[in-house]
C-alpha cells in the first residue's frame, strides 16, 4: 500500500530570553577569567614538581600499569589507559608520551624507556611511528619520581568522572623542575624553563639545605649554566646569567659545535642549539646561498644515522672553515638564544622566580612530601606496635586465651571476651583471634615480640625526624646525594666565556683575492672569468646588438658601482658573482642584484676605489652634471642608494673622471651628435642638481645614448668634436647612423 503523505509541522518556536546589556568587564570576569585560569593552572604551566598535568597523568597511568618494573607494552595501551585521567584525543597524549621518551632526545634525563620510532626533537621531519608499532615503559629514574606516592606523600584527587583517583603532584626526590626543559603557553602567560645539569642542581640544593641564606653568587659557582639535552656551546655572560638567577627572565646564547674534516674539506656539525632543528638550518643556508650572501658552500646535507646527529657542509677550495662558521653563527640558527621565563605554579598560583627561589620552594615541597611519607610509616609502625603489644599480653597466659575462645558460644562474642579477659583493645583482640592454631605457641609469640624493642626505637627516630627540620633536611640531602651518584652525568653543553668568543665582523669578511677578467656589456650583463679560462678563449658570447663596454683584469675583491636609468645606485663586489666562461652570457645585473623597479636598466658601471672619482650624468633633456663619488659614501654597507642624481630628467648615460683622466664621450640625439670631454661638464656638490645644458635639442628632441668609445663602431668621431657648450651638435651622417648600436638610432 502506498504510504500516506505526512504533513510537515512547523516546529514551535520558544520565546528567547530577553537580551540584557552587560559591562565588558563583567563579561571578562565571568567568562574569560575562569577559562584563562583553567588553562594556566590545569594545562600549560608546570608545577613545582616539574610536570604539567598532561605529563603527570600519563606517567601515573604507566605507574599504575606496573610499567616501572614490568616489561614494555605497546604505546597504544598506554594512550588508551591515560584517557581515563586525561580526557583529550589520543594524538595529543601520544605526542606528550613521545617527548618524554629516550628515543626523542628532548630531555636530559628521559622518563620513558622506549622502543621504536618516536621522532627526534632536533628534526621537524622525523615523525613518530603509529602507537601500535612502538613500545614503552617507565625509565629507572622514575623510581625517584614516584617514591612515597603509595605512602600518602602527596594529595590524591578524583579524576574527571570520579571513577578513580590521581595525584595532584608527584613526590619527585630531586628538583626535576630544573633538570628537564619545559615549555608552556597559557592565556596571557607563558613558561619556558631550560634544563640544568643534575649533578649541579643536586649540589646547589644541598648547599641551600645546609644554608638557606647562600647568596646567588655562590650558587652560580655551583650551578654553572644551563645544560641542554644535545649539547652545544653556551656563550657565557655572567651578568646575564645573574639576571636569570635572580628574576627567572633572560636569554642564553647557544652555538653549534663542529669539527673540520681536512681530507674531505667539509665541516661536520655534531651539536646544535636546543631551540632549532636541522631542517631550519639547512633551509636558511640554502636561501643565503641563493641570495649570494654565502659563496663558500657547495653542499649541505643531513647525515643523521644510528650514531646520532650529524650535519655536513661541503666547502669550496681555500675556504677558512672557522671564518665561515662565524658567518653562519651570525646569519643562521647555528647560534640561537634560549629565552628563559621561569613561570611555575606554587600552591596553585603562578609565580615567576629565579633559580634560588625555585629551589627553596622545591625544598619546602619536598620537605612536606618526606614528612607525610614518614608520618604514614609512623602510623603503620604504631599499628604494628599496638598489635605486638597485645600479642605479648596473651603470652602471660596462652591457655587462658585458648580457653576463652573455646568456651565462647557465639562467634561475635570472641573479640569482646578476649578484650575483657586480657584488657586488650579491639585491634589487638582482632589480631590475636586471627592467629592460626598452629602459631599459638610460646616460640612463635616470643619470636614476634622480639621486634618490640627495635620497633619502639624506629618509632622514636621517626618522631624525632618528623619534628625536626634539621633531620628532614639531612634526609633530603642523603636522597639527593644518592640520586646524584646513581643518575648524574657529565655536562653536555660546553661553557665558553664571552671574552673568548670570536664574533663575525662583516667589515673584515673580505673575499678571497685573486685576479679575474671582469667584462660588462651595454645590455647589463656582467662576467667574471678566471684568468686560466680567459687565456683559453677570449671571444665573448653576447646577445644580439649587445657590445662590451668594460673589459679589464681586476682583483676579485674590487668594488662595483652600477648606476641605473631610475637614478639609483647598486653596489656589489666582483666576488659576489659566480665565475663563468667567455662563451656564456654571464649574469644579468638587474636580476642578480634584484632591481626593484620594473624595466630598470644599468646605464654605466664603475669598478675600483671611488676615492677622488667624479661621475658625469647625461640626461635625456640634453643636460649634464658632474658629481663627486664621495656623495655616495655610507656608514653601513648599503647595497642600494636612491636619488643619486636629479630626477628632473631620465639619465641615459654616465662617464667617470679622475684627476689623471678626463675621457671623451659621444653624445647622440635623434639627428645630431657631439664628442666632448668631461671637462666641459658642469660640476656640482649636491645630488639634486640638474647641471647645465650640454647639447641643445630642437622640437622636443632627446638624448638617446652616451657612447664612451665611438671609434669602436667605425665612426670618425673627430668631426663631431665640440670644445664649447652648450652646442646644438653636428648632424649625423647616414653612414654613421647605420654604424651606431641599435638603441642609439
Same domain membership, residue 653 and residue 691: yes
**pLDDT digit string, tens, across residues 254-292:** 999 999 999 999 999 999 999 999 999 999 999 998 887
Cis peptide bond prior to 454, omega within 30° of 0: no
Please indicate, yes or no, if residue 686 is contained in any of the structural domains: yes
Q: Which of 629, 643, 530 is nearest to 597 (CA)?
A: 643
pLDDT at residue 471, rounded to an integer: 95
Q: Which of 366, 363, 369 is nearest to 208 (CA)?
A: 363
Residue 1 has pLDDT above 70, yes or no: no
Cα–Cα distance for residue pair 157/166, rounded to 1 Å: 5
Same domain membership, residue 447 and residue 298: no
Same domain membership, residue 480 and residue 511: no
Same domain membership, residue 523 and residue 421: no
Cα–Cα distance for residue pair 243/253, rounded to 1 Å: 14
The total domain count for the chain is 4
CATH number at residue 553: 2.120.10.90
Give the residue from 163, 187, 214 where a domain finishes: 163
Same domain membership, residue 409 and residue 318: no
CATH number at residue 413: 1.10.268.10
Please indicate, yes or no, if residue 193 is contained in any of the structural domains: no
Grid coordinates given for 524: 647589463
Strand partners, 515: 555
Same domain membership, residue 703 and residue 600: yes
Cα–Cα distance for residue pair 511/316, rounded to 1 Å: 13
Cα–Cα distance for residue pair 604/524, rounded to 1 Å: 9
H or E element, residue 664: strand 664-669
Handedness of CA 235, 240, 244, 250 (dihedral sign): negative
Cα–Cα distance for residue pair 617/633, rounded to 1 Å: 18
Same domain membership, residue 152 and residue 74: yes
Give the residue from 316, 333, 350 where a domain finishes: 333
| CB-based contact 137:62 (threshold 8 Å) | yes
Q: Read off the pLDDT of each residue in 433-462 and give the average, rounded to a whole number.
A: 85
Strand partners, 152: none
Same domain membership, residue 382 and residue 275: no
pLDDT at residue 514, rounded to an integer: 80
Please indicate, yes or no, if residue 27 is contained in any of the structural domains: no
pLDDT at residue 41, rounded to an integer: 65
| CB-based contact 454:366 (threshold 8 Å) | no
Same domain membership, residue 387 and residue 522: no
Grid coordinates given for 410: 557465639
**pLDDT digit string, tens, across residues 481-505:** 999 999 999 999 999 998 888 887 7
Q: Read off the pLDDT of each residue in 543-555 and give the average, rounded to a whole number.
A: 89
User: Please, where are the H alpha helices in 395-450?
Assistant: 398-407, 414-422, 426-433, 442-449
Could you count the other beta carbons within 10 Å of the beta carbon of residue 284?
18
Report the relative pairing of strands 614-619 and 182-185 from DSSP bridges: unpaired
- Helices 355-394 & 398-407, crossing angle to 10 degrees? 80
Please indicate, yes or no, if residue 600 is contained in any of the structural domains: yes
| CB-based contact 225:201 (threshold 8 Å) | no
The Cβ-side half-sphere exposure at 12, using a 13 Å CA radius, reads 2
Cα–Cα distance for residue pair 236/226, rounded to 1 Å: 10
Please indicate, yes or no, if residue 701 is contained in any of the structural domains: yes
- Strand (E) positions, 186-248? 190-193, 233-236
CB within 8 Å of 468: residues ≥ 6 apart? none
Cα–Cα distance for residue pair 541/521, rounded to 1 Å: 11
Handedness of CA 729, 735, 737, 739 (dihedral sign): negative
- The percent of residues in the chain predicted with pLDDT above 70, rounded, is 93
| CB-based contact 306:315 (threshold 8 Å) | no
Residue 710 has pLDDT above 90, yes or no: no
Confidence of residue 729 (pLDDT cuts 50, 70, 90): confident
| CB-based contact 657:614 (threshold 8 Å) | yes
Could you count the other beta carbons within 10 Å of the beta carbon of residue 311?
23
Please indicate, yes or no, if residue 356 is contained in any of the structural domains: no
Report the relative pairing of strands 249-255 and 335-341 from DSSP bridges: antiparallel
Task: Using CB atoms within 10 Å of the CB of residue 469, give its burial: 0 to 12 exposed, 13 to 18 middle, 19+ buried.
Answer: exposed
Give the residue from 312, 333, 354 where a domain finishes: 333
CATH number at residue 58: 3.90.199.10
Cα–Cα distance for residue pair 660/372, rounded to 1 Å: 94
DSSP-derived 3-state class of residue 529: strand
pLDDT at residue 98, rounded to an integer: 95
Same domain membership, residue 702 and residue 631: yes
Kindly state the DSSP code that residue 438 receives in the 8-state scheme.
G
Show which residues are catalytic: 133
Mean pLDDT of the chain: 89
Cα–Cα distance for residue pair 93/99, rounded to 1 Å: 10
| CB-based contact 118:134 (threshold 8 Å) | yes
Cα–Cα distance for residue pair 428/409, rounded to 1 Å: 21
What is the value of pTM for the model shown?
0.70
Task: Using CB atoms within 10 Å of the CB of residue 246, give its burial: 0 to 12 exposed, 13 to 18 middle, 19+ buried.
Answer: middle
pLDDT at residue 38, rounded to an integer: 65
Task: Using CB atoms within 10 Å of the CB of residue 76, give its burial: 0 to 12 exposed, 13 to 18 middle, 19+ buried.
Answer: middle
Structural domain boundaries enclosing 328? 257-333
pLDDT at residue 700, rounded to an integer: 76
Q: Read off the pLDDT of each residue in 686-701 and give the average, rounded to a whole number.
A: 88
Q: Read off the pLDDT of each residue in 149-164 and give the average, rounded to a whole number.
A: 92
CATH number at residue 301: 3.30.1360.40
Please indicate, yes or no, if residue 71 is contained in any of the structural domains: yes
Please indicate, yes or no, if residue 357 is contained in any of the structural domains: no
Same domain membership, residue 651 and residue 528: yes
Confidence of residue 601 (pLDDT cuts 50, 70, 90): very high
Same domain membership, residue 530 and residue 483: no
CB within 8 Å of 374: residues ≥ 6 apart? 462, 465, 466
H or E element, residue 619: strand 614-619
DSSP-assigned letters across all residues of 497-522: EGGGPPPP-GGG-PPPP-EEEEEEET
Grid coordinates given for 39: 588553562
Amino acid at each position: 500500500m502506498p504510504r500516506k503523505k505526512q504533513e510537515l509541522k512547523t516546529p514551535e518556536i520558544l520565546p528567547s530570553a530577553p537580551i540584557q546589556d552587560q559591562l565588558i568587564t563583567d563579561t571578562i570576569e565571568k567568562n574569560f577569567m575562569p577559562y584563562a585560569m583553567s588553562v594556566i593552572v590545569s594545562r600549560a604551566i608546570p608545577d613545582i614538581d616539574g610536570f604539567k598535568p598532561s605529563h603527570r597523568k600519563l606517567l601515573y597511568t604507566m605507574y599504575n600499569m606496573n610499567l616501572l618494573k614490568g616489561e614494555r607494552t605497546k604505546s597504544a595501551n598506554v594512550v588508551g589507559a591515560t584517557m581515563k585521567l586525561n580526557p583529550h584525543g589520543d594524538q595529543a597524549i601520544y605526542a606528550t608520551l613521545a617527548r618524554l621518551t629516550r628515543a626523542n632526545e628532548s630531555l636530559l634525563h628521559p622518563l620513558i624507556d622506549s622502543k621504536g620510532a618516536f621522532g627526534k626533537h632536533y628534526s621537524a621531519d622525523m615523525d613518530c611511528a603509529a602507537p601500535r608499532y612502538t613500545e614503552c615503559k617507565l625509565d629507572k629514574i622514575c623510581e625517584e619520581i614516584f617514591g612515597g606516592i603509595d605512602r600518602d606523600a602527596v594529595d590524591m584527587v578524583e579524576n574527571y568522572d570520579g571513577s578513580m583517583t590521581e595525584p595532584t603532584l608527584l613526590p619527585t626526590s630531586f628538583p626535576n623542575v630544573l633538570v628537564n626543559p619545559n615549555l608552556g603557553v597559557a592565556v596571557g602567560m607563558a613558561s619556558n624553563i631550560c634544563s640544568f645539569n643534575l649533578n649541579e642542581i643536586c649540589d646547589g640544593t644541598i648547599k641551600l639545605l645546609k644554608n638557606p641564606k647562600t647568596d646567588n653568587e655562590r650558587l652560580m659557582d655551583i650551578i654553572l649554566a644551563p645544560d641542554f639535552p644535545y649539547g652545544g656551546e653556551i656563550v657565557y655572560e655572567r651578568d646575564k646569567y645573574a639576571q636569570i638567577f635572580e628574576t627567572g627572565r633572560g636569554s642564553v646564547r647557544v652555538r653549534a659545535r663542529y669539527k673540520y674534516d681536512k681530507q674531505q674539506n667539509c665541516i661536520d656539525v655534531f651539536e646544535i642549539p636546543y631551540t632549532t632543528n636541522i631542517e631550519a638550518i639547512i633551509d636558511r643556508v640554502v636561501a643565503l646561498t641563493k641570495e649570494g650572501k654565502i659563496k663558500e658552500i657547495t653542499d649541505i646535507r643531513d647525515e643523521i644515522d644510528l650514531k646520532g646527529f650529524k650535519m655536513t657542509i661541503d666547502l669550496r677550495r681555500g675556504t677558512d672553515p672557522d671564518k665561515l662558521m662565524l658567518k653562519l653563527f651570525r646569519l643562521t640558527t647555528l647560534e640561537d638564544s634560549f629565552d628563559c621565563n621561569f613561570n611555575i605554579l606554587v600552591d596553585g598560583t603562578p609565580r615567576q622566580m629565579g633559580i634560588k627561589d625555585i629551589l627553596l620552594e622545591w625544598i619546602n615541597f619536598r620537605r612536606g612530601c618526606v614528612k607525610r611519607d614518614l608520618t604514614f610509616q609512623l602510623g603503620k609502625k604504631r599499628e604494628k606496635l599496638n598489635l605486638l603489644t597485645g600479642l605479648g599480653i596473651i603470652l602471660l597466659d596462652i591457655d587462658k586465651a585458648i580457653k576463652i575462645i573455646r568456651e565462647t558460644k557465639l562467634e561475635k562474642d570472641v573479640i569482646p571476651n578476649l578484650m575483657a579477659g586480657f584488657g586488650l583493645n579491639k585491634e589487638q583482640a582482632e589480631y590475636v583471634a586471627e592467629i592460626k592454631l598452629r602459631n599459638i605457641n610460646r616460640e612463635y609469640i616470643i619470636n614476634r615480640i622480639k621486634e618490640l624493642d627495635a620497633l619502639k626505637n624506629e618509632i622514636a627516630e621517626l618522631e624525632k625526624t618528623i619534628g625536626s627540620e634539621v633531620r628532614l633536611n639531612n634526609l633530603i640531602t642523603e636522597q639527593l646525594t644518592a640520586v646524584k651518584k646513581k643518575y648524574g652525568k657529565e655536562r653536555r653543553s660546553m661553557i665558553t666565556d664571552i671574552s673568548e668568543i670570536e664574533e663575525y665582523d662583516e667589515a673584515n669578511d673580505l673575499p678571497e683575492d685573486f685576479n679575474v677578467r671582469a667584462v660588462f656589456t651595454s645590455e647589463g650583463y656582467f662576467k667574471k672569468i678566471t684568468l686560466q679560462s680567459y687565456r683559453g678563449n677570449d671571444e665573448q658570447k653576447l646577445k644580439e646588438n649587445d657590445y662590451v663596454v668594460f673589459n679589464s683584469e681586476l682583483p676579485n675583491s674590487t668594488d662595483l658601482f652600477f648606476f641605473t636609468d631610475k637614478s639609483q645606485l647598486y653596489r656589489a663586489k666582483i666576488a659576489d658573482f659566480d665565475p663563468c666562461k667567455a662563451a656564456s652570457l654571464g649574469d644579468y645585473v638587474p636580476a642578480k642584484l634584484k632591481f626593484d623597479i620594473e624595466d630598470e636598466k644599468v646605464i654605466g658601471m664603475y669598478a675600483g676605489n671611488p676615492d677622488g672619482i667624479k661621475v658625469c650624468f647625461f640626461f635625456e633633456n640634453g643636460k649634464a652634471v658632474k658629481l663627486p663619488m664621495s656623495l655616495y659614501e655610507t656608514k653601513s654597507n648599503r647595497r642600494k642608494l636612491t636619488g643619486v642624481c636629479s630626477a628632473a630628467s631620465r639619465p641615459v648615460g654616465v662617464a667617470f673622471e679622475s684627476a689623471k683622466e678626463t675621457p671623451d664621450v659621444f653624445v647622440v640625439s635623434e639627428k645630431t651628435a657631439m664628442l666632448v670631454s668631461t671637462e666641459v661638464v658642469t660640476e656640482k656638490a649636491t645630488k639634486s642638481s640638474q647641471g647645465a645644458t650640454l647639447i641643445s635639442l630642437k622640437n622636443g628632441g632627446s638624448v638617446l645614448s652616451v657612447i664612451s668609445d665611438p671609434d669602436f663602431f667605425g665612426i670618425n668621431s673627430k668631426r663631431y668634436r665640440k670644445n664649447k657648450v652648450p652646442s646644438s651638435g653636428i648632424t649625423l651622417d647616414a653612414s654613421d647612423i647605420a654604424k651606431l648600436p641599435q638603441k642609439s638610432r
